[in-house]
Every structure is written in C-alpha cells, then in structure tokens.
Amino acid sequence: QVQLRESGPGLVKSSETLSLTCTVSGGSVTRGSYYWSWIRQPPGKGLEWIGYVYNSGSTKYNPSLKSRVTISIDTSRNQFSLKLNSVTAADTALYYCARDFRGGDSGSYLDYWGQGTLVTVAS
C-alpha cells in the first residue's frame, strides 16, 4: 500500500519561501508512468493543482504559480519537494502531495494522497 506524508513548517512569514517535503513509502518514486504532484486547498475552497515532477526530474507547473514554484525529486530518499517563494496570505492553504498516473492512452488521476498539511502565511 502506497503512503505519502507531507512534512514542513506550518507557519511561514509573508515574502519568504514555503518548503514542504513528501515522503513516499510502500512504492518507489521511480516507477514508470507515475508522476508526483502537489495540490493545495485554501480553507473552505476547492482544489488547485500546483505542479508535478517525474522521476527524471522533469516538471510541469500551474501557469498561475510557475514564476514562484520549484518541485524537485530525490529518488535516493524516495521523496519529492515543493518550494514556493515570495508567499502572501493568499498562499495559506492545506497542501497535499499525491501520486499522479499519466499513462500513454489514459488521462491523469491521483490515486494516492497524503493527509495534507496546513501552511499559514503570517504577515
């Protein structure tokens, strides 16, 4: 059973960098066709895809966040990470990591999720 767990500071100061790590157990981040995604959810609102990383290190980001986001992967530790710089109160949200299947003749679906971690941006 694949499990994901987010870790990182729950409080970040405005204009600083939010950094989170997702540790994967029960499966390898190097498995083909699986991408590793970050999704966030502001309190009381819907889901927003942030971006993904593949085991090769290739990435894709939400255009609205692209200038501030970096997602990286550490295959030796079976982890992937999110950095979001120049944060504001609008970045306060529950941040989820998830496994994202993107096959050749299939869409995308997120089949395993972490429990989420709340990050609050304080002024």
Partner 1 sequence: EIVLTQSPATLSLSPGERATLSCRASQSVRNYLAWYQQKPGQAPRLLIYDASNRATGIPARFSGSGSGTDFTLTISSLEAEDFAIYYCQERNTFGPGTKVDF
Question: How many secondary structure helices (H) and strands (E) does the chain include?
Answer: 0, 11
**Nearest-CA neighbor of 39 among 77, 88, 80?**
80
**Of 14 and 26, which CB lies nearer to partner 1 in the complex structure?**
26
The region that residue 10 occupies, defined by phi over 0 for left and psi between -120 and 50 for alpha, beta otherwise, is alpha
Q: Name the minimum Å distance from CB 36 to partner 1.
A: 14
- Rounded to the nearest whole angstrom, what is the least distance from the CB of residue 102 to partner 1 in the complex? 8
Nearer to partner 1, 11 or 109 (CB): 109
Closer residue to partner 1 in complex, CB, 16/48: 48
The dihedral of CA 107, 71, 94, 26: what is its sign? positive
Least distance CB 111 / partner 1 (angstroms): 5
Q: Which chain residues interact with partner 1 by CB under 8 A?
A: 39, 46-49, 60, 62-63, 96, 101-102, 106-111, 113-116
